Amino acid sequence: MSAQNYEKLEKELYELREKLRQVNFRIRDVEEEVRKYADKRDRIHEEMKPYLEQLREMRTATEEKRRKLDELREVLASRKEELKSKRGELRELRKQLKKLRGIKETAEEIQKKMEEIDWKIQTQPLPREEERRLSNLLEELNLRLAQAKQKIELQKRLQKLEEEISGLQEEVEKIREEIGKTKEELNQNFEQRKALRENVQELKQKSDEWHAKYVEAKERLMKLEAEKILISSRVIELQERLNRYKKDEEERRLREAKERLKAEAASKLSSGKKLTFEEFKALLEDEEILENLVRKK
């Protein structure tokens, strides 16, 4: 390698080291960017957690309220069907009572009349026509007694049915109120969840923006690190070449110096001059010079 090439390599090495220093500065700056963006993104994620937890809780509450609403609707349908059935039964009872509206006396009153007629027939001598008339009247009263008793039974059933219908109507009204209340709670829940989702979406958008910057910075960092590896590899390669050149040059200088020393020592020895220790040592290392000097003597 020529001195010109050596200087050229040294210049390239100096420039590469400066470039590597600048790359390290840029890596440090980008690493700070990466940490900053990751920190901002992660902080937003932490800020989102309470909202997400509330959304999960409200979603569970919504599912429970919907199940409750479905159950209430099923109960309401059942009660309305039962109410419809009882109202039909009520109409039938009223029709039957309408047929008995001609029965004015009470069963006790009819029973008393029957006992009086029966007593009269049993205790008094009556003409045959009168006895027949009273017997026919007794049969008529017996039929009316049965109708009066039926009327009483129907009235009792009517009263009980009206009470049951009234109770069912109250229950249906309460169920409807509960359904309305549950629907209102679901609407409120929906509005609250909507507000929470909007907050989460807003935060997520900010998080995505910071994450995009994080990814972009991370990519720049990877490129810089790759560039650093390439520059470092070239620096090591140049440094090794320059070190080899220096080593070779040093060895060459040492050889030349030793040759000069041996030549001076041989010249001094030929002229009978005193040798230094280093000169004597140099001659001892060269057997050819020693043999020539011995033959001359």
Cα angle for residues 67, 72, 78 (degrees, 5° grid): 130
84 and 164 assigned to the same domain: yes
Number of domains into which the chain is organized: 2
Alpha-carbon separation of residue 167 from 76, 80, 82, 174 (angstroms): 13, 12, 11, 11
254 and 269 assigned to the same domain: no
The one-digit pLDDT tens for each residue of the chain (297 residues) are 566 777 888 888 889 999 999 999 999 999 999 999 999 999 999 999 999 999 999 999 999 999 999 999 999 999 999 999 999 999 999 898 888 888 788 888 888 888 888 888 888 887 888 888 888 888 888 888 888 888 889 899 999 999 999 999 999 999 999 999 999 999 999 999 999 999 999 999 999 999 999 999 999 999 999 999 999 999 999 888 888 888 888 888 888 888 787 777 677 767 777 777 777 676 666 666 555 555 555
Domain extent for 81: 3-259
286 and 190 assigned to the same domain: no
180 and 290 assigned to the same domain: no
The two structure tokens encoding residue 39 = 């920190």
181 and 240 assigned to the same domain: yes
Residue 137 and residue 79 in contact, taking contact as beta carbons nearer than 8 Å: no
The two structure tokens encoding residue 161 = 């049915």
pTM over 0.85: no
228 and 85 assigned to the same domain: yes
183 and 264 assigned to the same domain: no
